Structure formats: C-alpha cells, structure tokens
Amino acid sequence: MKLELGKIEIKDIRFGDKSCVDDHVLSINKEEVERLVLEDDKLIGCHLELAKPGEKTRITPVKDVIEPRVKVSGGEIFPGVIGKVSPQVGSGRTHALSGCCVVTVGRIVGFQEGVIDMSGPAADYCPFSKTLNVCVVIEPKEGLETHVYERAGRMAGLKVATYLGELARNIEPDTLEVYETKPILEQAQQYPDLPKIGYVHMLQSQGLLHDTYYYGVDAKQIVPTFMYPTEIMDGAIVSGNCVAPCDKVTSYHHLHNPVIEDLYRHHGKDLNFMGVILTNENVFLADKERHSDMVAKLCQWMGLDGVLITEEGYGNPDTDLMMNCKKVERAGTKVCLITDEFPGKDGKSASLADTCDEATALASCGQGNATLHFPAMDKVIGTTEYIESQIGGWAGCMNEDGSFEAELQIIIASTIANGYNKLAAKGY
C-alpha cells in the first residue's frame, strides 16, 4: 500500500461566515458546525470555542483529540465509523490540516477525562498545548446511559473533524509525504540485507468506555491481525475510551503514531519496516493467552528480527504486554517495549504492574505520579468542577482561586505510552 499524505499548515483559526481554509487560516462557520453536532438527539447542547497556544486557557474535561483529514482518493476517512468500510483505506491520497485539532470537551464519566492548559507549566507536558484547538463542548440529554453518551461524544468529535477535513480536499498541500509498505514477500525482498522490524500495536479493549474501534469493529471482538501502517494514518483506528488522561491514545495519536512515523523514517536505511500486528488488551485470561500466542505466531510467520510493542493503560494491559514480550522473544524475535511508568511520587517503586524475564529492553515515556502546580487561568473551556475526582486529582487539591495541585496523570497524553511526548527515563 502506498499513501500520499499532503499536509496543509494551519497558522491561525477564527470564526467566520463561511467555513474555509484561505492562506493557511482556518475559518469556521460556528453555527453550521454546532447544528451538525446537534443533529444527534442524544445531545442537547453544543458550542464551539477556540483555544490557541500561549493563551491563559484551560480545557477540561477532554474526551478526544482529532486532526482533521480527508481522503482525496482511496476510500473514506474513519472507515466503518464515519466513512464507508470499503474500499479499505491506506492508499491513494490524504490531506491533513496540520497544526490544528478538534477537541471534544464534556463530562463523560466522573473521573477519566483530562486537562489541556494552553500556557503555564502544564503546557510543557501536553502536545495539544501547542496546537490550534477547535473545542466542541457538548452537553448530553438528561438520564442517558453512560455508553450512549460516550458514543455521542465520540461521534461529535469525528463528525466535526471530518467536516473540517473536507475543507482541505482541493487545497495544494505545503508538504507531501509518501509512505509505502509492500506485500510481505516483496517487502522482504526490497531490503534483503536490513533487519526486518515490525510493530505490535496493542489496543485498549477492556470494556465499556475502554474500547477502541478498528474499521468500526469494537477491538475486543478482534483476534490479532496484520495491518498496513498507512491504514492507521487514514483513521482505520479511532479511540472510544476514557482511560487515564496521561496515557490515553487519542484518535490524533492513532493518526500520528510516532512508532510508525519513526519506523518509516528508518525504513530502507537501517531497517526494513514490515508492518503492524494489531492486537488487543483483554480481561478474560484465556483471551490473553490465545492472543499473545497469535502475536508470536504472526511475528514468526513474518520472519521478523525485531518488534516494538506499545500498550495503552496500566495494570491489566501490563500483563498482555509481558505475555506478548515473553512469547514473541521465545519464538525468536527480539522485543523492545515502550511504555510509561507509575513508580510513586519518588519514582522508587516498581514501575509496572507485571513483568517477565524476557523484558530486557524498554523505552520509558516518563512517570505519571509526579506532581505539578496548575496555576489559575483566565478562561476555562468546559468546567473545572470535577478536577478533584479526575484521575491525578484528589480531595482538597483544588484551590479557591482556580489553581490546583495534581499528578501528571491528569494531563492529556503527558506520559503517553507510545512516545508522542517529551518525557523519558535515562540510565546513568
């Protein structure tokens, strides 16, 4: 599969009479977008707000972040969720509005949504403090079941991102990147002397509000499978979960998976990037055993010399991570794990909830228990009413002036376990 990814740099966003992109400025017809969101009768309120880097603005509770993209050719964006499932995505041409994001805001459940600060100390920890954000603040109908509201929130963000992405269809991109992965035998032939490297991508899939969607299929229903990396760049995977903010893989992170981007950077130079093995994170232990066996089988079948493995979440997924590591290593493929850590405030406790002897190489994305002071902001998009109940906060952490103390866990993607952040651990 070969994908051309055209990026249109967005330098400013504003509200206007007509939605369009003109000279790197995104104008949005606010009423039109709000009407689009409110077509869903599960939502009774929606308003758009804009947040820009450097502003004294706090956005919370944040559910998802999405980059607007459009398929110019070769299928439709977010297949199975917004676009048609067929043809498959991952080839043809895609345009992206680079530097701007759709952020869905609103209380989904009482504890798992995070914070984005557009300036101040917390901004250093969040990639979305540096993007121009179109915030979609939603309010549900009274009495909705949590999962019905989660779906409405998820769809609202994806619909707005698709609407804005459509504006990029006929614009000449500033940059055009080309990514290609060939069918397995041809790919192995292309760089026969380079080590064959794969990526084992573990999707959060533990249950209600802990789900991810693959071509619209709930990931807990899948068995491990092969994916071309470019399919993921076209929105074949979207987030539907509300795990701890710090290690949440938003839909933006799926589009911009740093493991995939970095492996492509090295592709043909010092390694041969063979593709992605997609798997999930299970509650039922027999599923864990079966799926880690299948991951190891796929690694062996693809003739991989090495894999990188990422997870989403903490606790139960650590067991999937270690089972994958153990079985893949024993089947003859070298493993490097990528994850974040929760070793207590002083960093001295065990970092993960599980481990295995084969886990000898690990890249750390930082630790979520460290605490930070969040100064008061001039403007809040959403509400800070729930800060004390949100993950990373605690009873009494909020001060009267709107400032608060909290663990890094409360910041969206601060320690994201695929490395789309700046934190790391170094050995001395």
Of the candidates 148, 51, 54, the residue with the CA atom closest to the CA atom of residue 105: 51
Is residue 148 near other proteins by the rule CB under 8 A? no
Per CB under 8 A, does 369 bind other proteins? yes
- Beta carbons of 325 and 309 less than 8 angstroms apart: yes
State in angstroms the smallest separation of the CB of 165 from other proteins: 30
To other proteins, the closest distance from the beta carbon of 70 in angstroms equals 33
Report the phi/psi class of residue 283: left, alpha or beta, with left for phi > 0 and alpha for psi in -120 to 50: alpha
H or E segment to which residue 285 belongs? helix 285-301
Sheet holding 237-241, edge to edge: 217-218, 210-214, 237-241
What does the per-residue mask of binding to other proteins show for 61-100, with x meaning CB under 8 A?
A: ----------------------------------------
Torsion 247-251-257-260 (CA) sign: positive
Amino acid at 78: F
CA distances from 340 to 194, 313, 353, 408 (A): 29, 9, 11, 12
User: Based on CB atoms, which residue is closest to other proteins, 133 or 316?
Assistant: 316
Taking the alpha carbons at both ends of the chain, their separation in whole angstroms is: 42
In the complex, what is the shortest distance from the CB of residue 353 to other proteins, in angstroms, rounded to a whole number?
5
Ordered DSSP codes for 231-255: HHHTTSEEEEE---GGG---HHHHH
Asked whether position 185 contacts other proteins by CB under 8 A, the answer is: no
302: left (phi over 0), alpha (psi -120 to 50) or beta: alpha
Nearer to other proteins, 89 or 387 (CB): 387
Contact track, other proteins, 265-284, x by CB under 8 A: -----------------xxx
Q: Based on the shown chain and the rule CB under 8 A, indicate whether residue 239 belongs to the binding site for other proteins.
A: no
**DSSP labels, 321-374:** HHHHHHHHHHTT-EEEEEEEE---TTS-S-SSS---TT---EEEEEETT-EEEE
Among 94, 104, 204, 418, which residue interacts with other proteins (rule: CB under 8 A)? Answer: 204
The catalytic position among 100, 242, 325, 365 is: 242
Cα-Cα-Cα-Cα dihedral sign, residues 329, 244, 242, 158: negative
51 is a site residue for other proteins (CB under 8 A): no
Among 100, 118, 391, 413, indicate the residue that binds other proteins (CB under 8 A): 391
* 357 touches other proteins (CB under 8 A): no
Residue 156 touching other proteins (CB under 8 A): no
Tell which one of 62, 70, 244, 362 touches other proteins (CB under 8 A): 244
Q: Which of 175, 225, 349, 399 binds other proteins (CB under 8 A)?
A: 349
Task: Give the whole-angstrom CA distance, residue 185 versus residue 411.
Answer: 43
When binding is defined by CB under 8 A, the residue of 36, 72, 85, 353 that contacts other proteins is 353
* Residue 246 annotated among the catalytic residues of the structure: no
Q: Does 109 bind other proteins (CB under 8 A)?
A: yes
The only residue of 395, 400, 426, 428 in contact with other proteins, by rule CB under 8 A: 395
Contact 273, 194 (CB under 8 A): no
* Nearer of residues 15 and 394 to other proteins, judged by Cβ: 394
DSSP 426: -
The enclosing H or E element of 28 equals strand 25-28
* Total site size for other proteins, rule CB under 8 A: 39
CB atoms within 10 A of CB 105: 25
Cβ distance to other proteins smaller for residue 198 or 368: 368
Closer to other proteins by Cβ: residue 44 or 350: 350
Query: Binding marks (x or -) toward other proteins, 281..320, rule CB under 8 A?
Result: -xxxxxxx------------------------xxxxx-x-
Least distance (Å) between residue 115 CB and other proteins: 16
- Give least dist CB 380 to other proteins, A: 20
Q: How far is Cα 187 from Cα 417, in angstroms, rounded to an integer?
A: 28
Looking at the Cβ atoms of 94 and 316, the one nearer to other proteins is 316
- For other proteins, the binding residues (CB under 8 A) are 109-111, 146-147, 204, 206-210, 220, 243-244, 282-288, 313-317, 319, 342, 344-345, 349-350, 353-354, 369, 389, 391, 394-395
Active site residues: 242
